[in-house]
Amino acid sequence: MKLILFFVAGFAMIFTLLGLKSQKGKAPGLVGGHLAPPKAAPNCVSSEIDVQPEKKVAPLHGTRADIIAAIKATGGTVTSESDSYISATYMSRIFKFVDDVELRHDKEDIWHIRSASRVGYSDRGVNRKRVEAIRAILTK
C-alpha cells in the first residue's frame, strides 16, 4: 500500500511540475480585433465562434466595472485591462493549472468572452461553468 501511495504522489508531483512549466505565458489577446478562436481541444468556450456550437457561449452584459468585479468575485486575477479589453487568469487549487479569460467590448454593454485552459485537452466543463458563474453575478 505504501508503495502505491509513493508512486501516486511521485506521479502527481512530476505531473504538476511539468504542467506548471508549460503554463507560462499570457492570454492570446485580440486577433484582427476579435478574441482568438478556440483551439481544437474541448477546453475552451467563446462567444465569438459560430463554427463549433459545442464551444459557443452567449456574450455577457454589463459595465466594465461590473465585469471586473464579477471576475474578482469568481476567483480571477485581472492581468490586463483597457476600455475595450480585459484579460484575467484563474488557477486551479490542486495542480495549479492556469486558465485565461478574455473579454472584448462590442457595443453598449455587450462583452464577448473567451475562457480557455492553457494546457491539457479536456477541462471537464470548467471554462463553461466559469463563464456562467460570471454571468450569474452580472445578472444579480
What domains can you pick out in the chain, each with its CATH number? 26-138 (3.30.160)
Q: Name the more confident of 14 and 120.
A: 120
| pLDDT at residue 64 is higher than 60 | yes
Give the span between the Cα atoms of 102 and 33, in whole angstroms: 13
Residue 18 is predicted with a pLDDT of 47
**pLDDT exceeds 50 at position 137:** yes
Helix (H) or strand (E) holding 18: helix 2-21
Q: What is the pLDDT of residue 20?
A: 46
Return d(Cα 131, Cα 129) in angstroms, integer: 5
Q: What is the pTM of this model?
A: 0.82
- Please state the rounded mean pLDDT for residues 2-9: 63
Measured between alpha carbons, how far is 113 from 106 in angstroms, rounded to an integer? 10
Identity of the amino acid at 95: F
Residue 17: the pLDDT is 47
* pLDDT attached to residue 52: 84
- Is the predicted pLDDT of residue 69 greater than 70, yes or no? yes
By the 8 A CB rule, do 113 and 103 touch?
yes
Tell me the sheet residues that pair with 111.
60, 105
Whether 10 has a pLDDT exceeding 70, the answer reads no
DSSP for residue 38: P
